[in-house]
Amino acid sequence: MRKYVLDLTLKSNERLREGYFLLKLTDGNPLPPMEPGQFAELKVDGSETTFLRRPISINYVDEQQNEVWFLVHEVGDGTRRLGTLVAGDRLNVVLPLGHGFTMPSSASERYLLVGGGVGTAPLLYMGKRMAEAGCRPTFLLGGRSAGDLMQLDMFRALGDVCITTEDGSAGERGFVTHHSVLSAASFDRIAVCGPKPMMKAVAAYARSKGTECEVSLENMMACGVGACLCCVEKTTEGHVCVCKEGPVFNINRLLWQ
Amino acid sequence: MAVDLSVNIGDLFLKNPVMTASGTFGYGLEFADFIPLEALGGIIVKGTTLHPREGNPYPRMVETPQGMLNCVGLQNKGVDYFCSHIYPQIKDINTNMIVNVSGSCPEDYAECAERINELECIPAIELNISCPNVKQGGMAFGVTAEGAASVVKAVRAVYDKTLIVKLSPNVTDIAGIARSVEDAGADAVSLINTLMGMVIDIERRRPVLSISTGGLSGPAVRPIAVRMVWQVAQAVKIPVVGLGGIMNARDAVEFLLAGASAIEIGTANFIDPTVTLKVIRGIEDYLERHGCRSVREIIGAMEC
Ligand SMILES: Cc1cc2nc3c(=O)[nH]c(=O)nc-3n(C[C@H](O)[C@H](O)[C@H](O)COP(=O)(O)OP(=O)(O)OC[C@H]3O[C@@H](n4cnc5c(N)ncnc54)[C@H](O)[C@@H]3O)c2cc1C
Ligand SMILES: Cc1cc2nc3c(=O)[nH]c(=O)nc-3n(C[C@H](O)[C@H](O)[C@H](O)COP(=O)(O)O)c2cc1C
Ligand code: FES
């Protein structure tokens, strides 16, 4: 897919909860096509300590409003600086980058989308595209407590939503892999995005069931376009660039056990 | 009247002095969506070795103040793969497609260069005798005058097109090494490669990079690079290609004034994939503002 460098305009910056914000950006021209699971490289201006761009998943694309959304967790200077942007500000982005999730092969495919923390971000757009294709996915979303779960109304409009929290304040208590839906239902395909231990646990579940499973990796990146070979993951075919061949990988390609 | 941006590196004609640095621009194709590649003076592709190399384990990169460290370690599929799979994809790009060649002994460098000599659309190679990220070879050759000369002689014997030799800044006397490379038959030198550095994760009490150390690039190294280009340009008669931390046209002009006949842009491509075009335009603006007809008028034109 063709990649673009764009100076987008910020429409809104909304605090979804402490430490997390949602950027909605637009452009004078129609935004380019983007696939769920792809990401953008955001240029951070005005942070002394942030030299490289920051990779952030495409959270949602609203074609009617000509908007692309980014859901960001503040973890350091770069993301904190992005959190100070206000409506009307410009943000330079390179997008769309990488390869996203495999779309269902038919409308009847039973597709489970598992997300933890800010890893739920790309699943929203995936859910939207699946709904457009006539599919109703099951979302399995995990957090530490009820307040951690974001964009729930939108997820509920697109599919069935299962929730786990570690403190039991919403949904079932425990980790996503403890949720009863995993034993009650069976799935043809699973996609996961979240902390690595969570992705590994879901991958182990998928393997035990023989279910196709894709995970989204977050290796440290410099160029984001497959030019520098900094972001590699060791796979069955040797070192491959996460930014170009991923960030989404079928677990069979990875050396996770 | 339009200014003349063209320069020569030995027999190599560049439509403008702006090239891209090896390891930062892939094979050029990765940037084809962002800029017309033929607008560049040249593209120096990824480091290529005689045999395939897996490179170093992840993590290979860490951000530093105004720069980054990398320890990619010359991951590439080897010269045969380059000739059979990559060359056909890049040979028709209408600019100087230059291959960066690495090795672990003079024989390997020479054999790799000999293969590339046969490729009609590759008018030059850049010998990387300065990579800090591989255990044997690489920088080992670049840090002594004898080592550098031995590799250049071996390659010169089998390679008859433009031979650029890329120097390591991790030395005490870069001018001396440049002279020995010139005597051994190089057509030009390029500098600087990355400076050896290290970052420690103080919580885990471990180095951040997989092999502990890595090469520093980006604007953090620029004043060192400018100083070295200036010293080398005075020490040799062959053309000098300058690089290290160039982020914009001002930085590029700085290298030209210090004595570089052309420049390369590396890490800046990561921050702005269109930076090379902006630098070309900015050099043109500078020349117009200073009443120059040709970029050649400012090469080495610093007054002191
Ligand atoms: C393909 C991809 C998609 C991503 N999508 C999102 C997203 O939708 N929303 C979101 O909030 N974050 C996302 N991330 C992670 C995000 O890029 C990092 O959190 C961000 O770069 C940190 O920048 P900083 O300057 O705030 O923190 P820094 O000061 O650079 O680092 C703070 C901490 O964050 C960690 N960190 C830094 N860079 C990364 C990285 N690339 N991946 C993982 N951890 C990192 C560091 O190890 C450090 O501990 C994604 C990463 C990748 C590779
Ligand atoms: C990720 C990365 C990979 C590199 N790989 C190579 C390489 O294969 N061969 C080489 O001669 N130099 C390599 N370099 C060094 C650059 O070509 C250049 O000399 C250096 O980065 C300084 O320029 P800059 O500050 O503009 O990036 C690499 C640099 C980076 C950042
Ligand atoms: S970040 Fe440069 S190759 Fe992936």
- With H, G, I as helix, E, B as strand and everything else as coil, classify residue A40: strand
Domain-embedded: residue A32: yes
Domain-embedded: residue A190: yes
Query: What is the rounded distance in angstroms from the CA atom of residue B23 to the CA atom of residue A216?
Result: 25
Structure confidence by residue, pLDDT tens digits, B179-231: 999 999 999 999 999 999 999 999 999 999 999 999 999 999 999 999 999 99
Ligand 3 center to A252 CA (angstroms): 22
* CA-based nearest distance A77→chain B, Å: 12
* CA-based nearest distance B294→chain A, Å: 31
Query: What is the rounded distance in angstroms from the CA atom of residue B257 to the CA atom of residue A10?
Result: 41
pLDDT above 70 for A250: yes
- Superfamily grouping for domain B7-298: Aldolase class I (3.20.20.70)
More confident residue, A222 or B138: A222
Residues of chain A with Cβ-Cβ distance to B86 below 8 Å are: none
pLDDT above 70 for B37: yes
Q: Give residue A256's pLDDT band: very low, low, confident or very high (50, 70, 90).
A: confident
Give the C-alpha distances (Å, rounded to integers) separating A156 from A103, A159, B97: 19, 5, 53
Query: What is the rounded distance in angstroms from the CA atom of residue B248 to the CA atom of residue B270?
Result: 13
Same domain, A82 and A148: no
Rg (CA), chain A: 18
Residues of chain A with Cβ-Cβ distance to B63 below 8 Å are: 50-52
Same domain, A70 and A115: no
Residue A148 CA from chain centroid, whole number? 16
pLDDT given for residue B304 in this prediction: 83
Average pLDDT of every residue of chain B: 95
Structure confidence by residue, pLDDT tens digits, B104-137: 889 999 999 999 999 999 999 999 997 666 655 4
More confident residue, B146 or A257: B146
Of B143, B152, B126, B127, the residue nearest B177 (C-alpha): B143
For chain B, domain boundaries: 7-298
Structure confidence by residue, pLDDT tens digits, B59-114: 999 999 999 999 999 999 999 999 999 999 999 999 999 999 999 889 999 999 99
What is the reported pTM? 0.96
Of A53, A228, A231, the CB nearest to B271: A53
Report the domain count for chain A.
2
For residue A77, the enclosing domain spans 4-97
Of A97, A120, A144, at which residue does a domain stop?
A97
Domain-embedded: residue A255: no
Enclosing H/E stretch for B286? helix B275-289
Pocket of ligand 2 (CB under 6 A): A 228, 230; B 21-24, 46-47, 70, 72, 74, 100, 128, 131, 166, 193-194, 217-218, 221, 243-246, 265-268
pLDDT given for residue A249 in this prediction: 98
Query: What is the rounded distance in angstroms from the CA atom of residue A188 to the CA atom of residue B151?
Result: 57
Burial B206-225 (b: 16+ CB within 10 A, else e): ebbbebeebbbbbbbbbeeb
Same domain, A49 and A123: no
Q: Give the DSSP per-residue string, B36-66.
A: -GGGSSEEEEEEE-SS-B--PPSP-EEEETT
Residues 6+ away with beta carbon under 8 Å from A252? A236
A to B CB pairs, distance under 8 Å:
89
Ligand 3 center to B70 CA (angstroms): 11
Residues of chain A with Cβ-Cβ distance to B272 below 8 Å are: 5, 43
pLDDT given for residue B206 in this prediction: 98
Query: What is the rounded distance in angstroms from the CA atom of residue B243 to the CA atom of residue B25?
Result: 14
Atom of ligand 3 nearest to the CA of B61: 1
pLDDT given for residue B141 in this prediction: 78
Residues 6+ away with beta carbon under 8 Å from B38? B93, B94, B95
More confident residue, A257 or B51: B51
Q: Give the DSSP per-residue string, A130-195.
A: HHHTT--PEEEEEESSGGG--SHHHHHHHSEEEEEETTSSSSEES-GGG-THHHH---SEEEEES-
Q: Could you report the predicted ipTM of this complex, rounded to two decimals?
A: 0.95
pLDDT given for residue B130 in this prediction: 77
Same domain, A202 and A126: yes
Of A97, A122, A140, at which residue does a domain stop?
A97
- With H, G, I as helix, E, B as strand and everything else as coil, classify residue A31: coil
Q: Pick the range with the lowest mean pLDDT from A2-6, A32-36, B137-141.
A: B137-141
